[in-house]
Amino acid sequence: MDWRGRQGSSNVEDRRGQVVKGAAGLGGFGIILYIVLTLLGVDPGSIIGGGGAPQTNINPPKQNQQYQENATEKELRQFVSVVFKDTEDVWTEVFAREGEKYQKPTLVLYTEATQSACGVGQSGMGPFYCPQDKKVYLDLSFYQDMRTKFKAPGDFALAYVIAHEVGHHVQNQLGIMDKVQRLRGQLNEKEYNQLSVRLELQADYFAGVWAKYMQGKGYLEIGDVEEAMNAAEAVGDDRIQKKMRGTVIPDSFTHGTSAQRVKWFKKGFANGTIRGGDTFNTNDL
């Protein structure tokens, strides 16, 4: 991805180096649940606790001295800031075409743990979106996890992940997340999982829409789209369950299969519009 020399977002909150006391308040089961859900492809920011992470009473973050980043971390911070600015520009343009105003979210960078309006965010969760405070949370160490744990290297693979989380913000602004959450109490676990899959596949679709605009602006390089699709495939429920359990349980899917995630990203990339991403009124997932 061609990103160097371009402007970054002004909506980045850098909390790296801050200490969150009481982060262990989730308890062992809570932490394990977070990690397992993340590995299964679940976005805790949209599934747990009414649209966010589980509520936890902790003390506010303690402000440390300015975080001392190394050269690699500095470059990665600059990269994600540019990517976030790109999402702002794209969705501002897309919403304007629909006669609407895009409300820009905030990207929070942190290390190990941080407080969100949805509860405690921990690096083991992976990136997540909290609809209550309209913020995307990211520990930059996830970039290494993508390369090693998920076998999805490349800068555009991380860009796809960020675009997916911003896709949840788009859903939040469109009122889609609220509609899904209101149905939660009316559905059994299997039915709600199916609804969750549709929510997550739509976020993948929106990530594809963003990528389409990046191509139109001339920012994509050879192999970028393949990196994004490789990342989408890497976090499919079937692939991760097969790796962790040795078996696949479709009724427990919450994010979609690898094939579905790639399919909806590709649809968004092909269409480039909000209207083509209705995953809730189709039998063809």
- Most confident range, picked from 21-35, 141-155, 205-219: 205-219
What residues does each domain of the chain span? 12-277
CA dihedral 263, 265, 270, 271 (to 10 degrees): 110
3-state helix, strand, coil in the chain (%, to 5): 55, 10, 35
In angstroms, the first-to-last Cα distance of the chain is: 29
Q: Give the DSSP H/E element, type plus range, for residue 12.
A: strand 12-14
- Across residues 188-204, what is the average pLDDT? 92
pLDDT value for 31: 36
Indicate the SS3 state at residue 36: helix
Q: At what angle do helices 71-97 and 155-174 cross, to 10 degrees?
A: 40
Percentage of the chain beyond pLDDT 70 is 84
Q: At what angle do helices 189-216 and 71-97 cross, to 10 degrees?
A: 90
Question: Residue 135 and residue 170: Cα distance in Å, rounded?
Answer: 12
Contact call for residues 145 and 114 (beta carbons, < 8 A): no
Phi and psi at 262, nearest 5°, equal -65, -45
Task: State whether the Cα torsion 236-238-242-244 is positive or negative.
Answer: positive
Name the average pLDDT for the chain: 84
pTM, two decimal places? 0.84
pLDDT value for 47: 38
